Amino acid sequence: MLFWQILIDGFAISALYALGATGFTLIFGVSGVLNLSHGALMVTAVVAAWVAGGDFGLNTYLGATFGVFVGFVMSLLTYFVVVRPLQQSNKIREEEKEIFILTATLLWGIMISELIAYLYTNNAKTVLPIVEGVVMLVGVRTPANEIFTAIVCWLVIGVLWLLVNRTRAGKAVLAASMNPRGVTLLGIELSWIYIAVWAVYGVLVGIAGVLLGMFLGVSSYSVGPLTASAFSIVVLGGLGSVSGSLIAAYVVGYLETMTAYLVSPAFRTIPALLLLVAVMYVRPRGLLGRR
Amino acid sequence: MNPTTSLASRIISSRTVWICLLVVVVASTLPLYVSGYILGLLTIAYYFAVFAMSWDLLFGFAGEVNFGPTFLIGLGAYTAGILDNLYQPPIWLCLVAGALAAVAGGVVLALPALRVRGPYFGLTTLVAVLILQNFVVVAASFTGGEIGLTVPDVISIDDGVNYWIALGFMAVSGAILYALSRSPVGLILQASGQDAIQAGALGFNVTKHKLTAFIISAFFSGLAGALLVFYLGAASVGTFVDVTVGVQVIIAAVLGGRRTILGGVLGAVFLIGAGEALRPLGDLSTFIVSAMALAVVLLFPSGLLGLLTRTRDAR
């Protein structure tokens, strides 16, 4: 009984983690950027959906769509205002650009979360779920919302996989992650690929955020832990490897759920951290990492 | 830099040294006419400056981003605090213990961290902070958990005395760190950080040098952390170990000017000062400080020190 509950809850939460981590790893793999404002972008999307539902009085579908749209816009804003100027700056030495981008995205993330806290307070916000009610699954009372979350996450991941592996544009993105210069030699405009990747990232973050808002709710305090968990999942799976992050997301999600149910919710984050340490010592590349 | 001139003559002829000396002398007169509130603020800023300078040393040398300076700081602070709570030894003993604990932690951290490159180094340091954070919270009976622990002894109650201790400590640490960064050893370390392969090819033991940088950074961070505990009279996760504090250390160092060591002082004073000055605005203050920091990072990568000395940015 408990087993099934853990199985189902873990599956839903892992799917959510997987979606967020996939976006994170995509940006790193192609753009080479560790976007530390990841959590902030997710929370922005949720708050936008919340505002849409509350202040604008839109129904849940429109609210969710608005949230995703805001995620999309914020992601592009992050790229054009914070990341690109630094990448193209000629005032900073090449080897230092990474730390500048890291610091800048971190600051950007802090700015966003503080602004949200100021405008909308620190209180947790939830978004009205699109699917309501409770379903009996294998004898376990499960919110239909959870199943919806898992399904949507996997649908999006599936669509993403199709896009990247089966379409020409997607293959160009894949190529850009392996060899940016080679891609330019083929006559493909690299800057458009970067914009496309950040746009896709925005949509992913928006969807993941809105789903999270429906499932658990967020507050401006969630920003840090969200970024941190995406970070650790991606490291576990291997930076730059999407399939790696998917697997790692499930490992982390299930570890957390099991700990919460079997030990105590307070210790939820510890096994994942210990696993991360072990990975750092034994195999820093992660499960399927390339570098 | 002409290696035939002695270190002493170079120090005397260096303009930077004289300016710093002037600044320290002026700063030490502050308690005579400045309020206790500002003194307290500056005291914290000075300790923070040591955090930032130690971080800059590691960054300038290891050439990698250390996301968890608070791991070292927290180790120093908590060891000193817990020791004092348990056995009440003389304060200097606690300080030494704190510094040593931080150094030990630095060595333990350095072992996996130095084997990996780039973002993995940063991640290892970040994980270290998260683990320490969790450990402190879980071992609450020992460490005071999230509420924090209070320390029975304090170095001094007088604002002026605390200020002078902080200023003196910062000046000495700054001098040591700065001298180190400009010495031949410092140059080797810089080379190891910027191009480890070439440095290794030239015959320098890169790992040993990076480990040394770690240890030095850990020592000063831990000592500063321990001193800060005895100034505040309390320690908690939120003030010493949290990732956000580590972030502020990094921001202070980068804001002041990376690879300059001394920039850390400017960055720390600016950060803490601005944070306080904007406090009336409430939550918006952090937003504004971060926005200003972001603007500096985007527009003036050489940091505040670069602005002041109008350093030409490297190509």
Give pLDDT tens digits for A25-34.
Answer: 888 888 888 8
Tell me how many degrees the CA angle B169-B170-B172 measures, rounded to the nearest 5.
Answer: 65
Q: Which one of B108, B287, B296 would you mutate to disrupt binding with A, by most A Cβ within 10 Å of its Cβ?
A: B287
Residue A205 belongs to some domain of the structure: yes
Structural domains in chain A (count): 1
Question: Closest approach of chain B CAs to the CA of A234, in angstroms?
Answer: 11
Give the minimum alpha-carbon distance from B12 to chain A in angstroms, rounded to a whole number.
31
**The pLDDT of residue A58 is above 60:** yes
Q: Does A228 touch chain B (CB under 8 A)?
A: yes
Domain assignment of residue A287, yes or no:
no
- Parallel, antiparallel, or unpaired for β B149-150 and B234-235? antiparallel
> Any CB–CB contact under 8 A between B315 and chain A?
yes
Asked, for residue A132, whether it belongs to a domain, the answer is: yes
Average pLDDT over residues A86-108: 78
The tens digit of pLDDT for each residue in B78-96 reads 888 887 777 777 777 888 8
- Say if A290 falls within a structural domain: no
Residue spans of alpha helices (H) in A132-241: 144-166, 168-178, 180-185, 190-215, 223-237
Tell me the chain B residues in contact with residue A232 when contact means C-beta distances shorter than 8 Å: 123, 127
Any idea of the CA torsion for A48, A54, A57, A61, to the nearest 10 degrees?
A: 50
Write down the pTM of the prediction: 0.80
Residues of chain B in contact with residue A110, where contact means CB-CB under 8 angstroms, are: 247, 286-287, 290
Question: Which residues have a Cβ under 8 Å from the Cβ of B25 and sit 6 or more positions away?
Answer: none
CB contact under 8 A, A99 and B131: no
Residue A195 lies in a domain: yes
Report the chain B residue with the minimal C-alpha distance to residue A277.
B127
Q: B247 and A82 in contact by Cβ < 8 A?
A: no
Contact list, B247 vs chain A (CB under 8 Å): 106, 110
Q: What is the pLDDT of residues B12-46, one digit of tens each?
A: 567 777 777 788 888 777 777 777 777 888 888 88
On whether residue A288 sits in a domain, the answer given is no
In a domain? residue A289: no
Percent of chain B with pLDDT over 70: 85
Inspect the interface and report whether the beta carbons of B59 and A99 lie closer than 8 Å.
yes
User: Could B122 and A280 be called an inter-chain contact, meaning their C-beta atoms sit closer than 8 Å?
Assistant: no
Contacts of B60 (CB under 8 A, 6+ apart): B181, B189, B190, B193, B258, B259, B261
Whether the predicted pLDDT of B314 surpasses 50: no
Measured between CB atoms, does B34 come within 8 Å of chain A? Answer: no
How far is Cα A11 from Cα A168, in angstroms, rounded to an integer?
32
Of B68, B43, B48, B24, nearest to B252 (Cα)? B48
Residue A17 lies in a domain: yes
For residue A269, the domain's CATH number is: 1.10.3470
- On whether any CB of chain B is under 8 Å from the CB of A287, the answer is no
Selected for mutation to probe chain A from B58, B66, B123 (highest A CB count within 10 Å) is: B123
Query: B265, A64 in Cβ contact below 8 A?
Result: no
Structural domain harbouring A139: 2-282
| DSSP tag of A125 | B
Q: What is the pLDDT of residues B122-180, one digit of tens each?
A: 777 777 787 787 778 777 776 666 677 777 767 677 777 778 888 888 888 888 888 88
A277 → closest Cβ in B127, B138, B290: B127
Using CB atoms, pick whichever of A107, A228, A231 lies closest to residue B290: A107
Q: Which residues of B touch A85 (CB under 8 A)?
A: 298
